[in-house]
Each structure stands twice: as structure tokens, then as C-alpha cells.
Chains A and B, each alone.
Chain A
Amino acid sequence: MRTLRLQLEDALRNFWRGVRQWSGDSAYETYLACAERQRAPKPLTATEFYVEQLNRKYSRPNRCC
């Protein structure tokens, strides 16, 4: 019973993580983790990253017919 509950919690956690990645909600966390791995001297703030990411995303075809 306990194993089943743990499995269910794990599945829900993975699902929620997936939804956050899909929607872009966790994009800044991903960027910070990458900047830390690469020892970037001065990572962007959340606002700077958000605006810069949107400007890049919407300068190329990203929605289809």
C-alpha cells in the first residue's frame, strides 16, 4: 500500500514537473542550473531572462497553421 502511494506521488511529481517544463514555468530554473554548471559569471535576473527568452522565441516561426 505504501509502495503504491509512493509510486503515485512519484508519478504526480513527474507529471507536474513535465507540465512546468512544457508551459515554460521552470525555464528560468533550467537556465540558472545551466549557468551554474557552466560557471557563468553573471547570470540574467528572472525578469531579464523572461523578456530575452520571449524576444528570441517570437522572432522565428513557433506557431503553425
Chain B
Amino acid sequence: MKRLLQTLIWTAVAVLGAVALGTIAFHRGEPINATWFVLAAVCSYLVAYRLYSAFIAAKLLALDNSRATPAERRDDGRDFVPTNKWVLFGHHFAAIAGPGPLVGPTLAAQFGYLPGTLWLIAGAAFAGCVQDFIILFCSIRRDGKTLGEMARDEVSKRGGLIAQLAVLTIMIILLAVVALVVVNALKSSPWATFTLAMTIPIALLLGVYLRYFRPGRVLEASFIGVALVLFVVVAGQWVADSPYLAKVFTLGGVTLAFTIIAYGFAASALPVWLLLAPRDYLSAFIKAGAIFSLAAGILLVRPQVLMPPLTRFVDGSGPVFAGKIFPFCFITIACGAISGFHSLISSGTTPKMIQREGHARFIGYGAMLLESFVGVMAMVAACAMTPGVYFAINSPASIVGATPEAAAATISSWGYPLSAGTMTGLAHAVGEQTLLNRAGGAPSLAVGMAQIFSSTIGGERLLGIWYHFAIMFEALFILTVLDAGTRVGRFMIQELGGRVWKPMGRMNWMPGILLSSALIVGAWGYFLYQGVVDPLGGINSLWPLFGISNQLLAAVALVVATTILLKMGKLKWIWVTLLPMAWLVIITMTASYQKIFSANARIGFLSQANALAAQIAAEKIAAAKIADTQRNIFNLRLDAVVTAVLAVMILVLLVEALAQWYAILSRDKAPVLQETPYVATQWAEGD
């Protein structure tokens, strides 16, 4: 009877999910209610978790709760700490959820709501969750080894080196692109700039409090910090209203870029307890609060989605970024569906804290489903605003014009009606001078969030506060990624440098710290500057580069997973990792090829560089702008080289893995798994 009831409930969930998916897929003409998106996503996740993750856990991985995990065997109260599965789920989710699932879907909304939403749901269920879950399992069975170590042990030494280089490359591109998102959100906005600037002294205050007065009392310090941050969000309005202070905090893109570069250097070189860690605490609480509030807001307000399912820009002529749905929708969504970076978390902290192997399914697969849901909510928030407003905020001035009148005329001519008054009125309502030309996703997401929040609390009157709360939330946790990433990059450079010159590898040697901090900051700072001065807005070139490198790392993780599964004798089920891996290789290769060689100057780096060079040769560029144009040409060629290097990396790794797979399948070589030996758990079943 119980079994029959369960079958009926799951059938109902599956049918409801199918109806919701069908509704959002085939709805045409009228706006559609956001409730359908929530239903489609939640029902699909439930079915995927109930069926697909259970199948992987049982057939592919054969999770064994009688086997002691690293947390049990090596419990040291520091790294290896057995942790309750719900707490570890929260830990893991807080670590994997970054700005990617918010920004990516917002940018991909230029194709309409449908392609992005479908990929967010299907990509997570069949690729992203699978990667996170299986890499977590592999790392648990290897005492918490990192992805690079597993690639070296299970694929080849060269595979390990490629994984390390891929991590460093993605780190540099990632840091540049997230910094660019912050620059575009803060430029010419005294309110937002003041609010974010104030989080630095607040973090320093908390750092000193936690180090000298109440060591490790994170909760009380975080409550004080969150209260102060909320206060400065409100105080930002007074700054914006003061003629003198508004002038001080009104900064241009280049100034903001250099300020963020200096901040990154300081955060990397200063003691971690002073600035980085307290910012991370603040960010974690505000992130959890904002994501929960957005979900609650969408459920309460149930906004109408005004963006059509497909826009005219599916042909690749999009103003936000150029390129067709295939492969650029997948490259742009990235983290909300599958993120290579997650494999670093799944093979880092989490496997050392897991209590039971069986928890890997809930934590690895489940946390990624939640991340995908965040992506769907971001898509809803972006698509709930008028399409004309969305395009005005996210398109660069070189395409739509720099004035409200020009932008309104251009965007209306595309078939998305917009008046100049709408843009000036909206900017005024959220307390900004302008909302035009703010590519990067953060401001349009903030407008979407503010509209949803203000429909619940405060109405139009609080639109400005909500907008700046959303901007602060996005910028705060983007900067947390930036400073934590810069520090990790510094360690990687010190480690690599230590192989060449010993003192460089000493982590507390000050000249080494300063030099490696300068190198990593200089690397991402260069790409950031390039993005800020790019006439096409920077996002057009940097976000696809980020997407390619991120998906490349995911392909690396799936190559490692596939090799391990083959060694485990799971040939029958190998398609579980092989298909998403093949898909990622296809999209990264296609995107890389198009970004390098496309004849369309808005897509291909080389053709854009050649077009600019031809303009200089034909003397069509003013003498004063020739130096800038030449620098732009150099940057475009550099981007082409970086893209090619990324593509070659995955090809080399694939060849290495194919040789390894052939040897295993042809029985030339006995498969040697580098798992730690089985040790029976000492804990009772209920522990």
C-alpha cells in the first residue's frame, strides 16, 4: 500500500513537471507566470534526484555506508571533521554558489527565457550534478585528494599538470570577469560605490574583533557586521544626495578597475584574518539571506515573465554578446548548469568532512540542484522586466547609443518598445543617474530583484534601497570570490615558483608573497583593464572566455571521472560521464573555434583585430585614437591565443585519456585504482 502511494505521488510530481515544462516551452504571445518556471524546475529536480542520482549511487558508484570515510579515519578536528549531512550540505552549497549562476542566466536571457531555462534544468540534472557527485565520491575514496592529484594518479602525470594549469588559467579569467561585473555595477554610482567601499572598514573591524577580542566567535561578529552593512546601504542614499560626497564616490570605469586591483593585492598580501575572512563571513550570511529572499519574493509575487521564449537574437546578432544559441547559450550559462570550478570544492574541503559515503548523493548531487534553482530564479528576475529595459541596461553604448533617446530608438527598432522616459524614470526611481550600458548582468539582476522585493515590501518608495541592497549583495560576494581567488592564485604561483627557486615556495617569505601577489593580480588586472576599455563593453569578449575555461575544467573533471569509472569496471554505465564530457568538448571546441576564427568581427577575435588594423591602414581612425586602437588589436590577438591554449589543453588531456582507456579496454594494462584500502566504519548505523 505504501509503495503504491509512493508510486502515485512520484507519478504526480513527474506529470506536473512535464506539464510545467511543456507550458513554458510551447507558450507563445502572452506573458507567462513565473510560477510555471518554479514548478518545472522543482518537479524536474525532484524526479532527477529520486531516480537518476539513486541510479548513479547504486549502479555506478555502489556507495558503501559500511566503509569508513576520511573524516572518520583521520579525524583531527581541523581538516578532517565528521559533519552532520545538513550542515555539510550548507557548507558545500555556500562554497559552490558564486556569482556565475546569477550573472550567466541574466546574460543568456538575451536569447529569450526558453533556451537558458531548459539548459539550466537539464544541464544540472545530467551534467553538473553528475560531475559534482562523482568527483566528490572519487575524492572520498582517495582521502580527499584534489582534482589535480587524481588526474595525475589516475590519468597521467601530464594530465595532472594540465589540470593544474587549467585551474590557474580559469582563476585568472574568472577573477578578471567578476571584477568587470563589479566595475560595471559601480561606475558612476556614488550610492553603490560608497556602500561597497564601507564594507572594507566593516570587515577590518570584524577582523580585529575576531582576532583579539572574541577569537572565532563568528556568529556574533557576523550579526554586528550584517547590521552595519544594512545601515551603510541606507546611508548610501544620503551620500548620493550630498553634492560633495556624491562627487567623491562617483568613479569612472578605469579608476574603479585600478581600485579593485589594489584591493585584490591588499587582500592577497595582508594576513587572512584581517580582511579576507571577515568579508567572507559577511558575504556568506548576506548571500544566504538574499537568495532565500529572492526565492520567497518570486513565490509571493509570482511575477509575469515579459521576455518572449525566443528573441530575434537567436541568430547570433545579440547586443549583450554576439554568437548563436549553439554554443554560446551553454558557454554563457556555465555555472548554473555545470561548473568545472565545483570539482575543486568537491575534491577539496567537502570529502574531508563527510560522515558517510551515502551522504555524497545528497551533498554532491543535491547542492548542485539548488545552485541550478538559483540560476532559474535569476533567469526569472531578468525576464520579468520589460525586454526593452533589459536590453538598454545590458547593451554597450557602441551598439545602442549612450543617451536614453538613442537607446530607446535603437531598441524599439528591434521590436522591443522602449521610451527614453522609461529609462530615465527607472534610473531616478532606483537612485541612479543612469542605468544605460551596464553590461555584466549585475545591474539588470538588481533591477529585477528590486522590482520583486518592492512588490512585497515598501512599493516604489523602497525601490532604490532594494536596488542598492541587491547591488551590494552581488558586489560583496563577487569581491569575496575575487580576494579568496587571488590568494589561492598566489599560493599556486608560489608553489610553482618554488620548483624553480626554493625560497619562492616558502609561504611566509614576504618578498615571495609580494611578488606572487603582484603576478596574480597583474594577470587578472590586465584582462580587467582590457575589458573596461573595450568599446564593445568587455563582457562580449571576457564572459565567453570565462565560460570556455570553466567548461574546459568541467571536461577535465569528467575525463578524470570517466577514467576512474572504467578502472572500476563500470563500462556498461560509462555513458553517464562520457556523454556530458563529449557534450562539453563539443561546445568548448566550437566556441573556441568561433571566438578565434569567426569572420563576424563581433564574434571572432582575429577578424575584429584585422578589421581594426584595416581601418588604421585606410586612415579611418583619428590620429588621437590610433594608440588605443593598436592596444585593442593586441588585446584581441592575446584573447585569441588564450582561447587556443585552452582548446589545446583539453585536446592533449583527451589524447592522454584515450590512450589510457584503450589500454584498459584492450587489457594491455591492468587497471590500477589508487583508492585507499577499505576500512570498516566503527560507527553505528544511526550515527
Binding site for B on A (CB under 8 A): 18-25, 27-28, 30-35, 38, 45-47, 49-65
For residue A21, which residues in chain B have a CB less than 8 angstroms away from its CB?
Answer: 83-84, 87
A31 to B81, CA, bound (A): 9
A21 to chain B, nearest CB (A): 5
With contacts A61-B344, A64-B342, A65-B339 taken as known, whether A19 is within 8 angstroms of B219 at the C-beta atoms is yes
Instruction: Determine, out of B53-61, B94-102, B318-326, B398-406, the stretch whose residues face the partner at the interface.
Output: B94-102
With contacts A25-B219, A46-B215, A54-B277 taken as known, whether A59 is within 8 angstroms of B96 at the C-beta atoms is no
A49 to B216, CA, bound (A): 8
For residue B276, which residues in chain A have a CB less than 8 angstroms away from its CB?
Answer: 58
With contacts A63-B484, A64-B335, A64-B344 taken as known, whether A58 is within 8 angstroms of B215 at the C-beta atoms is no
For residue A54, which residues in chain B have a CB less than 8 angstroms away from its CB?
Answer: 272-273, 277
Instruction: Determine, out of B71-79, B450-458, B640-648, the stretch whose residues face the partner at the interface.
Output: B71-79
Query: A24 touching B273 by the CB < 8 A rule?
Result: no
Q: Which B residues from 291 to 316 make CB contacts under 8 A with A? A: none
Query: A55 touching B272 by the CB < 8 A rule?
Result: yes
A58 to B275, CA, bound (A): 12
B585 to chain A, nearest CB (A): 20
Of listed B79, B96, B216, residue having the most chain A CB within 10 A: B216
Query: B210 touching A50 by the CB < 8 A rule?
Result: yes
For residue B217, which residues in chain A have a CB less than 8 angstroms away from its CB?
Answer: 25
Query: A25 touching B95 by the CB < 8 A rule?
Result: no
26 contacts between A and B (CB under 8 A): A21-B83, A21-B87, A22-B91, A23-B218, A23-B219, A23-B222, A23-B284, A23-B285, A25-B219, A30-B77, A30-B81, A50-B211, A51-B273, A56-B79, A58-B484, A59-B487, A60-B146, A60-B488, A61-B344, A62-B348, A63-B95, A64-B97, A64-B100, A64-B339, A64-B345, A65-B100
Chain B, interface SS category? helix
Q: What residue of chain A has the Cβ atom nearest to residue B280's Cβ? A: A63
Query: A63 touching B87 by the CB < 8 A rule?
Result: no
The reply on B86 being an interface residue by CB < 8 A is: yes
B147 to chain A, nearest CB (A): 10
Q: What residue of chain B has the Cβ atom nearest to residue A18's Cβ? A: B87
Query: B90 touching A25 by the CB < 8 A rule?
Result: no
For residue A53, which residues in chain B have a CB less than 8 angstroms away from its CB?
Answer: 78
Q: What residue of chain A has the Cβ atom nearest to residue B271's Cβ? A: A51
Query: A24 touching B76 by the CB < 8 A rule?
Result: no
A32 to B216, CA, bound (A): 13
A29 to B406, CA, bound (A): 62
B472 to chain A, nearest CB (A): 18
A18 to B276, CA, bound (A): 24
For residue A35, which residues in chain B have a CB less than 8 angstroms away from its CB?
Answer: 77
A49 to chain B, nearest CB (A): 7
Q: What residue of chain B has the Cβ atom nearest to residue A40's Cβ? A: B77
A38 to chain B, nearest CB (A): 8
Besides the known contacts A49-B215, A57-B349, A64-B97, 4 further A-B residue pairs in the complex with CB atoms under 8 A apart: A33-B77, A34-B75, A61-B341, A65-B550
Q: Which B residues from 123 to 151 make CB contacts under 8 A with A? A: 146
A31 to B91, CA, bound (A): 18
A34 to B81, CA, bound (A): 9
Query: B100 touching A56 by the CB < 8 A rule?
Result: no
For residue B484, which residues in chain A have a CB less than 8 angstroms away from its CB?
Answer: 58, 61-63
Query: B91 touching A59 by the CB < 8 A rule?
Result: no
A23 to B221, CA, bound (A): 11
B479 to chain A, nearest CB (A): 11
For residue B78, which residues in chain A have a CB less than 8 angstroms away from its CB?
Answer: 31, 52-53, 56
For residue B91, which residues in chain A have a CB less than 8 angstroms away from its CB?
Answer: 22
A24 to B488, CA, bound (A): 20
For residue B38, which residues in chain A have a CB less than 8 angstroms away from its CB?
Answer: none
The reply on B174 being an interface residue by CB < 8 A is: yes
Q: Which B residues from 210 to 228 make CB contacts under 8 A with A? A: 210-212, 215-219, 222
A20 to B284, CA, bound (A): 13
Proximity string of chain B (320-359) to chain A, C-beta cutoff 8 Å, 1 when within and 0 when not: 0000000000000011000101101100110000000000
Of listed A32, A34, A53, A61, residue having the most chain B CB within 10 A: A61
Proximity string of chain B (166-183) to chain A, C-beta cutoff 8 Å, 1 when within and 0 when not: 010000001000100000
The reply on B591 being an interface residue by CB < 8 A is: no
B440 to chain A, nearest CB (A): 14
For residue B219, which residues in chain A have a CB less than 8 angstroms away from its CB?
Answer: 19-20, 23, 25
A28 to B218, CA, bound (A): 11
The reply on B481 being an interface residue by CB < 8 A is: yes
With contacts A24-B216, A25-B217, A63-B280 taken as known, whether A58 is within 8 angstroms of B87 at the C-beta atoms is no
Query: B86 touching A59 by the CB < 8 A rule?
Result: no
A1 to chain B, nearest CB (A): 28
The reply on B507 being an interface residue by CB < 8 A is: yes
